[in-house]
Amino acid sequence: MKNPLLICMSGLILTGCYSIHTMNYAGQQQDWPTATGSFVDTHQPVPIYYGFPPKPYIYLEQIQVTAKDALADVLNVAATEAKAKHADALLVLSSGDRPIGVSSFGSSFSSANVTAQGNAQNWGNGYATAQGSAQGYGSSFGSSSSRIQYGGLLTAIAIQWKTNTAAK
C-alpha cells in the first residue's frame, strides 16, 4: 500500500504555490516604446525590465503569475515561463501583493460551580419541615484574532528583440 502522506506531499510539490495565465499577443506589431535607460534585473532566466528596454522589440505574450504566498518568487516563475516561450526579456507592467483571504482563530473557556445543601425533617402527624440553600458562580472568557493573507501578483509582457533583416 502506498503512503498517503507521501502522495499528498508529492501533489503539493508538483502543483506549486502559484498559477500562470498567459495570453498571446494578436495584432500588428508596432514600434513599441524604448528608453535610453531602465532598471533591469539580470539575475533571472531572462532579463526583467522595470521600464522600457533600450532596443526595439516585439510582443510575444502577456504573462500573469498569481502566487498563494506573498513570499513566492513570482519574478522567477514569470522569467522561466518567458524563457520557455523563447522570449529575450520580460517587461513588467505591474507587481505587488494582493489579499487572498483571511485566517481566523478563536478560543473560549467557561466554568461553573454550584453548591447545594438541604435538610428535611418529618415530625409525624403530617407535619414536616425542609430548608435548603444553593450557591453558584460562573465565569467565561474568550478571544479571537484575524489576519489578512497576502499573495503575490505579477503581470508582464514577454518580448523578443527585433532583428535587422534589411542589412543583408
For each of the chain's 168 residues, which pLDDT tens digit applies? Answer: 455 544 443 343 344 588 899 999 999 999 999 999 999 999 999 999 999 999 999 999 999 998 877 666 888 899 999 999 999 999 999 887 777 777 788 888 888 777 777 777 777 777 777 777 778 778 887 888 888 777 788 899 999 999 864 443
Residue 39 gets which letter from DSSP? -
Closest CA relative to residue 63, chosen from 155, 162, 165: 155
Helices and strands (DSSP H and E) totals, the chain? 2, 6
User: Going by DSSP bridges, is the β-strand pair 57-67/18-24 parallel, antiparallel, or unpaired?
Assistant: antiparallel
Q: Report how far residue 87's alpha carbon sits from residue 73's, in angstroms, rounded to the nearest whole number.
A: 19
Q: How far apart are CA 33 and CA 58, in angstroms?
A: 10
Domain boundaries, the chain: 17-102+148-161, 104-143
Rounded distance between C-alpha atoms, residue 63 and residue 152, angstroms = 14
Cell numbers 501533489: residue: 11
Residue 22: DSSP 8-state: E
In whole angstroms, what is the distance from residue 89 CA to residue 108 CA?
54
137 Cβ neighbours under 8 A, 6+ residues apart: 112, 113
Right CATH for 17-102+148-161 from 3.30.980, 3.30.110, 2.70.220, 3.40.720: 3.30.110
Bridge partner residues of 131 (DSSP): 119
**Mean pLDDT, the chain, as a whole number?**
81
